[in-house]
Structures are given as C-alpha cells and as structure tokens.
Structure 1
Amino acid sequence: MTRTDYVNDPLAPKPNSIVPAVSVIVRDEADRVLLIHRTDNDLWTIPGGAMEPGESVRQAAVRETSEETGYDVEITGQVGIYTDPNHIVAYSDGEVRSQFSICLTGVVVGGQARTSSESSEVVWQPLDQLDALNIHPSIRLRITHMLDTSRTEPWLS
C-alpha cells in the first residue's frame, strides 16, 4: 500500500478517518536520531504508527519502534500532539486520514537494528546531517520541537 502526505494543499482529498498514532524520537549518546526509510512513500522518518485497540500510547510507541527498527525503547517524555487539519494522509486503499499523532521521546534499552515491511533502512543519523535526507516537513517540525530547549511544555496543535 502506498501513502501520500499533503500539507496545506487545496487539492488534497477530503479525510474520511482519524486514527490515533504515535511517533518516537530516539537519540543516542552521540547525539544522533534513529530514522527509518519508509517503504510506502520513500521518505525518511522517525518510528511510529497507528495505535491498536487495547494499547496505551506508551505501549503503542514501544511496539511501533520495535516493529520498524528492531530496537526496544523506554519512553522518556513527550514532544507534543500534532493534529494539523491541513495535514492529510491518503492511502492507496482509499483511506484518507486527518493527522493525529502523539510524538514521544525514547532511549534504546535493547534489541538491534533490523528492517521490516515498513522500513527499508534503519540508521542513526547525526542531527547536523538531517538536511541530507528527504524528511517530511511534519517530521522535521517534531524534531525541531524536540531540540528546542526553550520549550517548557509539549507542543499542541
């Protein structure tokens, strides 16, 4: 299944669903961020995905990170809640979602890098080299918010 993201695009299809999702920014001691290369839209991103029935936000974040990267993580904080109505995600099966994502921070506590059906590559990218990768603006915004040390509260949109 393919995925197309639209941001502030008047030609974007109308959403037909809202699915709570999580994403996780994982950093290491070398000040690198854990990224995956998505198989559905060829973009680089942080791990994340839809919550499943019966899961907490924390459980979904840990599961999604493990599924997409092979790493086990411990959740350490919250970056923000992202609900921009002008960010639409359209899937090839006809589902068109309004954005609803809770972005958390985490640290690796086990596992090892491996790809999945959703990730063709798993890398630790130095923060000063993020511009070299094709990353969606909504993910860049989350990383920017995480790095903003002047913030005292999680982002809320």
Structure 2
Amino acid sequence: MTVAKRSAGLVVMRQFDGQWRCLVLRAYRNWDFPKGQPEPGEELLQAALRETTEETGLSELELSWGEAYRETEPYSKGKVARLYLALSRQGDVTLPVSAELGRPEHHEFRWVPLDEALALLPPRFWPILSWAHHKVSDENP
C-alpha cells in the first residue's frame, strides 16, 4: 500500500467592511488555497504556515480558531490536502517569485466571499469552505 501524498495549507480569512472573505490563488485556470508539501520532518501545520508565507507574502497569520483542520477527499492519484483556518488582519498579498520556478507560483489572487469561493474552487474544497463558514460565523476573533 502506498502512502498518500500530503499537502498542507491555510484557508486565510480577513474581514472587509464587516464581511468575511477568504484568499484564493490562481495558477493557470485552477483556483486553490495557499498550500504545499511538507519538508522532511516538518509538521503539517508548520508546512501550511510556511507555504502560505512563501506563496502570498503574508506572515502575520493568527490561528484564531485553534489548530483544527479539515482534509480533502483523496484526489489526483491519492493526494490529500489538509487545511487549517487562519486569520490575516493586515498585510498586502504579494505573489513572490519561486526560487524553483523562476517566476511566481500563482498568476492572480483574490479576497472573495465564501459563496464566490465555492464557484471558483474545485468541489473537493466545498466541505472545507462550509466548515470555514461555520467557524467564522460562530466566533469573532
């Protein structure tokens, strides 16, 4: 039995004019959350925080809703993505150049309401968006 490939990332939330929005990134035609594979020996939460900073330039992220997470169903040859919920109160999103690629990993970013994220993101993320919606609606960090 092969071990599933793991990735870890964040559903980054921020309030704009009293409305919660999440950060989504586009690479080519595909929308996604900031995420990536852990480095050897790296915990998934640390990988999620590192990848998000590398892909967006955001570094002052808060785990205001704790360290709970949700995972996608296996996709793309058994890959599973674990996503944590994070709060970004400040900072501008940038799309830094990846040292490996020699260009930014993503082409565009958007802060979108959760219902708009449903329309952009693939169905494997829909249960995670629902979870995030309930978390941010129930508590106000």
Q: Does the alignment pair 1:74 with 2:74?
A: no
Aligned residue in 2 for 1:11: none
Q: Given the two structures, how large is their TM-score scaled by the length of structure 1?
A: 0.66
Structure number having the greater helix percentage: 2
Aligned residue in 2 for 1:38: 27
CA distance in 1, matches of 2:89, 2:83: 19
Q: Answer yes or no: is the 8 Å Cα contact 1:58–1:75 preserved in 2.
A: no
Q: Does the alignment pair 1:19 with 2:5?
A: yes
Deviation, 1:99, is 2.4
Identity, in percent, stands at 26
Unaligned segments of structure 1, at least 5 residues: 1-14, 90-96, 150-157
Letter of the aligned partner of 1:23 in structure 2? G
Q: Answer yes or no: is the 8 Å Cα contact 1:35–1:123 preserved in 2.
A: yes
Q: Report which stretch shifted further, 67-76 or 53-62.
A: 67-76
Aligned residue in 1 for 2:99: none
CA distance in 2, matches of 1:141, 1:102: 12
Unaligned segments of structure 2, at least 5 residues: 97-103, 136-141
Structure number having the greater strand percentage: 1
Q: Answer yes or no: is the 8 Å Cα contact 1:69–1:115 preserved in 2.
A: yes
Aligned residue in 1 for 2:75: 88
Q: Given the two structures, how large is their TM-score scaled by the length of structure 2?
A: 0.72
